[in-house]
Amino acid sequence: MADLFPGFESHWIDTDAGRIFARSGGDPASEPLLLLHGFPQSHLMWARIAGELATRFHVVAMDLRGYGWSSAPRSKSGQADTKRAMGEDVVRVMQKLGHIRFSIVGHDRGARVGYRLSLDQPGRIEKLALLDILPTMEVWRNIKAGVTPAAHWAFLSQAEPAPEKEIARMGPNAYFEGLMQSWTLWQSLRTFAHGAMSEYRNAWGDSSRIHAFCEDYRAGAQRDLAADEADHAARRTIEAPVCILSGSFFLTAGPRPAVEVWRDTFAPDATGVQINAGHFLAEENAPETLAALLAFL
């Protein structure tokens, strides 16, 4: 896997969740930039753009708790896998690497960690780029209104052990690869680096990881949703500059463009860029994604 991140260092950092794995590259004296992956992937999803970003920033790419090579803490009903708890892992990792304030680029679940941390601890975040998401409360609102198919959100957030057993019955490779393929613009797993796909399969081949994925979505359906609704009711917004990047077809799209939703909720001054890709922007169209990020950052 080192070949996907040439010149990057590897780190194991102790947190309340156990050990978190991260890679870092670039000049440690440069502006710090954290990359947070989505479901059902790991930090490896950033391999096509991390090296170029590291020529300008001190780049940190970490595995969220329950994903990749990071520990999967015991959890029930999403208690240990809230985006607020994952945000605390982020703070511990970045402090250990010498950074108190930093920018975040997050995709999918990692983007949810990024915006939750930006609302909870605004003094830590310089800039925030969110790749292909709507706020959690907006997704659930669209699902309940029948605007967006419930799909994997409703399935994975069911009470334990229903989804875990069903994934085992179907076969983890069949289930997760089927999702990933259907979310790409070209409906193909060729989008993903061979080495990265091998590692994704290794991770979801472990039943404790599948449980962690489900706990992530259970947290999203309950505790993360409640946190969003409380902040929205209090009219809290993200203080840092925000850029919303979305694909040509948007995974959890509602009736309005993503950037409009963010402007009406947590990021009133957000800018937006559409990338010619499906859900996996940094892998499906690395040049456009990189250009948009560099222009924003």
Query: Which of 37, 58, 99, 279 is flagged as catalytic?
Result: 279
Q: Which two tokens stand for residue 142?
A: 């669209």
Instruction: Please state, in angstroms and rounded to a whole number, the distance separating the CA atoms of residues 286 and 289.
Output: 5
Angle at alpha carbon of residue 86, lines to 83 and 87, rounded to 5°: 85
Cα–Cα distance, 44 to 62 (Å, whole number): 9
For 94, counting Cβ atoms within 10 Å of its Cβ (0-12 exposed, 13-18 middle, 19+ buried), the class is buried
Q: Can you spell out the DSSP letters for 161-191? A: THHHHHHHHH-HHHHHHHHHHHTSTTS-GGG
Structure tokens at 236: 């809290």
CB atoms within 10 A of CB 214: 25
For 289, the enclosing helix (H) or strand (E) is: helix 286-296
206 is known as an active-site residue = no
Calpha distance 274→296 (Å, rounded): 13
End-to-end CA distance of the chain: 27
Name the nearest CA neighbour of 3 among 51, 52, 42, 68: 51
Candidates 63, 89, 108, 132; catalytic one:
108
The SS3 assignment for 192 reads: coil
Q: Is 279 among the catalytic positions? A: yes
Q: Residues with catalytic annotation?
A: 108, 279
